[in-house]
Amino acid sequence: MNNKKKIFVFTCEKIFVKENKFYCENVDIKTIIEGLSQNHSVKVVSRLTKNEKKYNIDINKIYALKNFLEIFLLIFKQKKKFFIFIDINPFNFLFFISSFFVKKKNFIFLRSDGFKEYEYILGKKWVWIYSLMFYLMTRNSTIISCHEFLSRGKPQYLVKPSELDPEWFKKHQEPNLKYPKLLYVGRLKVEKGIYSLVEMLRLENKNLELTIIGDGNLSKLKLNDQIILKGFINSPSELIKEYDRNNIFILPSFTEAQPKVIYEALARKRPIIIFSEIAHISKNLKGIFISTRDYKNLIKTINYIINNYSSIQLDIEKNNLPSKDMFLNDFIQFLDR
């Protein structure tokens, strides 16, 4: 008996194609697609880009918007279809509306707060666009999300996105505490707060170091000797070395749901600083400290961590962190409910 599901994954992710291989920008897209493909028939509908991306997705074919007719021929031919929309955005909304009369089971995976993202990126007057898409797409869909508040009170299944495997918990390195060495890992975008953090530290402080790992709009970053840009790192082992080389992880985002870098930093026993706008991500996790978005309070928080480092690390060890396998198992089992 064949229990394979026919799954269509719709994502606004820009896919780079080279020598019949597919590459994406965000590792969680790779994780979800490859995880679903292990036991099910998965077809991915996405955007294409000529800009090189880093993560290779092990899948045979990805359909782009230009294959619109081919996509719908496939959709109509297959029975018992499952549609998974990763995030709510205009690209996914187009396919959601276009396939409204196709018999299928809809799932929406919410990874971030689109209401806040539209506000920070476009301004409050444009939030109604996301509100409309959210209302229509969640009305007849099963919601899977990574934080309680993302569904705005609608029924949902919660997952904890993670890339942690056993390697993340091996051979912990003792930190050098001579001076604060902050680490940021993530995309270089306005809503991530990295530009405002760089500006704050560049103008105010010479007694700490900030290492930035990620790619994006580099032209906006004004660096100095204490602010180091290392670019994108694909290798988990190399990324682990960067967590170990620094002593505090900082996430200056204006909006987040449940970022995986939090679990990575805690897996390496590194304390974390976030700002009050995303205080909700701390939940019951130990080792996360909340600062207001100003230099004086940030330095106070940094000094407290450095002076109490050993006891903070003991608290961090009490955390029960999710693994990549746990995330995928939870995600896939929700498709059967």
> What tokens were used for 183?
């680490």
6-162+325-334: CATH topology is Rossmann fold (3.40.50)
pLDDT in tens, 287-333: 999 999 999 999 999 999 999 999 999 999 999 999 999 999 999 88
Range scoring the smallest mean pLDDT among 2-11, 222-231, 271-280: 222-231
pLDDT in tens, 139-193: 989 999 999 999 999 999 999 999 999 999 999 999 999 999 999 999 888 889 9
Q: How far is CA 127 from the centre of its chain?
A: 21
Could you confirm whether domain 166-316 is CATH 3.40.50.2000? yes
SS3 label, residue 223: coil
Determine the pLDDT at residue 137.
95
Q: Are strands 142-145 and 41-49 parallel, antiparallel or unpaired?
A: unpaired
Contacts with 104 (C-beta within 8 Å, 6 or more apart), sequence order = 8, 75, 81, 82, 83
Residues of the chain with CATH 3.40.50.2000: 6-162+325-334, 166-316
Q: Are strands 248-251 and 227-231 parallel, antiparallel or unpaired?
A: unpaired
CA geometry: angle at 28 spanning 328 and 161, to 5°? 50
Contacts with 219 (C-beta within 8 Å, 6 or more apart), sequence order = none
CA dihedral 236, 241, 243, 247 (to 10 degrees): 170
CA geometry: angle at 160 spanning 154 and 166, to 5°? 170
Q: What percent of the chain has pLDDT over 70?
A: 96
Instruction: Measure the CA–CA gap between 89 and 264, rounded to whole angstroms.
Output: 28
Instruction: Measure the CA–CA gap between 196 and 205, rounded to whole angstroms.
Output: 14
